[in-house]
Amino acid sequence: MDYDEADDDFDEDDDEDYDLSEIASSDTIGLYLKEMARVPLLDEVEEVSLAKRVEAGRKARKQLNKSPQNECADEWRFYIDDGQQAREHLIKANTRLVVSIAKKYMTRGVPFLDLIQEGNLGLMKAVEKFDYKRGFRFSTYATWWIRQAVTRALANHGRTIRIPAH
């Protein structure tokens, strides 16, 4: 398994105290956007490192499912956990992309938060399917999946009478 420890500096326990008191509790979009801005954007090296960790976790899960009593099971569990953390970081770091794509479809009959939710599902699908070996940036790849999920939601929920997408 190819594991790059150089970019292992993301730790969810290192949360700084951010003042969310200025945002009204009824402003869920504002709270979401504020929370989303806490995670810094990724550069290409970080994207590849996280994608490698996600792939290592995926491979380790397959190995563990094949032979759960193997002596390497503890190591595989480590890679699975690390891959899950990398997956979550990749998702959190790209939620701004979801919002920017969802904004373009705001006036089409589906609430903005629902568009963001569908876009997040597309982002999760992109993380699962991303192949860093092809040399593309993750955001380029994820844009297609996010847009597909948002437009599918519009097709399914944007009209009173549902028209099939295909």
With a cut of 90, say whether residue 118 has pLDDT above it: yes
Assign domain 28-157 to its CATH architecture.
Up-down Bundle (1.20)
Domain boundaries, the chain: 28-157
N- to C-terminal Cα distance for the chain? Answer: 40
19-29 per-position pLDDT tens digit:
545 555 567 88
pLDDT of res. 140: 92
Average pLDDT score, the chain: 82
Pairwise CA distance, residues 44 & 117, whole Å: 25
pLDDT of res. 158: 77
**pLDDT average, residue stretch 103-115:** 89
**pLDDT average, residue stretch 93-100:** 93
pLDDT of res. 26: 63
Cα 2 to chain center, whole Å? 21
pLDDT of res. 1: 46
pLDDT of res. 15: 40
**Is pLDDT larger for residue 14 or for residue 89?**
89
**pLDDT average, residue stretch 66-81:** 85
- Name which of 9-23, 56-70, 71-85 the model is least confident about: 9-23
Helix H or strand E segment including 80: helix 73-93
pLDDT of res. 37: 84
